[in-house]
Amino acid sequence: MSHQLPDVQADEPDVTVGLSQVGVTGVEKLVELEGEDRPYVLTAEFSVYVDLPSRRKGIDMSRNMEVIDEVLEDAVEGETDRVEALCGEAAERLLAKHEYTTTAEVQMEAEWMLKEETPASGRPTQSTVDIVASATATEEGIEEEIGCTVTGMTVCPCSQGMSESRARETLADLGVDDETAEAFLDEVPQPGHSQRGHATLTVTQDGEPEVDLMDLIDIARDSMSARIYNMAKRPDEDHMTYAAHANAKFVEDCVRSLAEGVVDAYPGLDDEAVIYVKQENDESIHQHDAVAEREVSMARLREELSA
């Protein structure tokens, strides 16, 4: 004879304090999404949260895992081609299954391998992009976020300026006239200390953000001094080195390029959409790193860029 198990989580806790987030993290899943030409398989890690009222001891934790599995199975069947929509569907189902909650949140991070060609030799190669997606569901509606973190190369304009000054003095000592010296320096970018940079760009909006993930990846990669590639023959190394030194940027410049890139790419994006941009540089000649970031509404960003 079966017996009903007690619902301990529904008991009142000894300390009646509400909790804003209770859930599970580090949930690793393979996510298959429909693409234009072929399905994409991502190695993803999920975090799932709901809030908990003060009079309830705990949440039904197994329901979180159940929802993630349900939504991923639907995704495998081709019901979604956007990771932010997948998070949104999971958040809405969580809210429905946990009747005592007012907010459900799903966060996802995933690695995506992109196929491309090297810039000079045209060799096939692959690059890794970190995808960021999340969704928050309440009774008022759902908010979704989509974005990426990419790796590139930057060159310090200050360091380069000092090298250019030294080169100008050396050319003068060698008897090179000023006009020829300036022409040479315009054609041949001088050395500056370089670093590996990490650009993050996300867009958050009520409902589904009206952006394309591949566009965001391109904006992020082009915000730094130069793109980098896993595979590089000598012509590719020369291409990347020259391109980076011809486009020296401070960490602040990269963040502003990210912001400008979004405004240029999406003139019709909702004014209330929230844009998050961040640049982190692994400094090569310092023991510290450099960082800059901004979170701003699309309306405010347009206003600043048009001033």
Are 255 and 211 within one domain?
yes
> pLDDT for 152-166, tens place per residue?
999 999 998 999 999
Are 131 and 239 within one domain?
yes
Domain final residue, candidates 37, 72, 107: 107
Is residue 61 situated within a structural domain? Answer: yes
Are 44 and 17 within one domain?
yes
Are 292 and 242 within one domain?
yes
> pLDDT for 214-272, tens place per residue?
999 999 999 999 999 988 899 999 999 999 999 999 999 999 999 999 999 999 999 99
Are 43 and 148 within one domain?
no
Are 94 and 123 within one domain?
no
Q: What is the mean pLDDT of residues 27-47?
A: 81
80: CATH: 3.10.270.10
Is residue 125 situated within a structural domain? Answer: yes
Are 140 and 248 within one domain?
yes
Domain final residue, candidates 47, 78, 107: 107
Are 99 and 42 within one domain?
yes
Q: How confident is the model at residue 95 (pLDDT cuts 50, 70, 90)?
A: confident
Query: What is the model's pLDDT at position 245?
Result: 94
Tell me how many domains the chain contains: 2
User: Is the pLDDT reported for residue 5 higher than 90?
Assistant: no
Are 287 and 261 within one domain?
yes
Are 150 and 35 within one domain?
no
User: Is the pLDDT reported for residue 80 higher than 80?
Assistant: no
Are 23 and 84 within one domain?
yes
Boundaries of domain holding 139: 118-156+193-307
Distance in angstroms (rounded) separating the CA atoms of residues 99 and 113: 39
Query: What is the model's pLDDT at position 1?
Result: 47
* More confident call, 237 vs 13: 237
> pLDDT for 119-155, tens place per residue?
999 999 999 999 999 999 999 999 999 999 999 999 9
Domain final residue, candidates 88, 107, 126: 107
Are 138 and 266 within one domain?
yes
C-alpha 85: how far from chain center: 16
Helix crossing, 61-76 with 83-97: angle to 10°?
140
Is residue 257 situated within a structural domain? Answer: yes
Distance in angstroms (rounded) separating the CA atoms of residues 93 and 44: 19
In this structure, are residues 227 and 264 in contact, taking their beta carbons and an 8 Å threshold?
no
Is residue 170 situated within a structural domain? Answer: no
Least confident range from 35-49, 61-75, 222-236: namely 61-75
Is residue 85 situated within a structural domain? Answer: yes
Q: What is the mean pLDDT of residues 30-56?
A: 81
Is residue 173 situated within a structural domain? Answer: no
Is residue 183 situated within a structural domain? Answer: no
Is residue 252 situated within a structural domain? Answer: yes
Whole-model pTM: value is 0.88
**Structure tokens of 200?**
């993050």
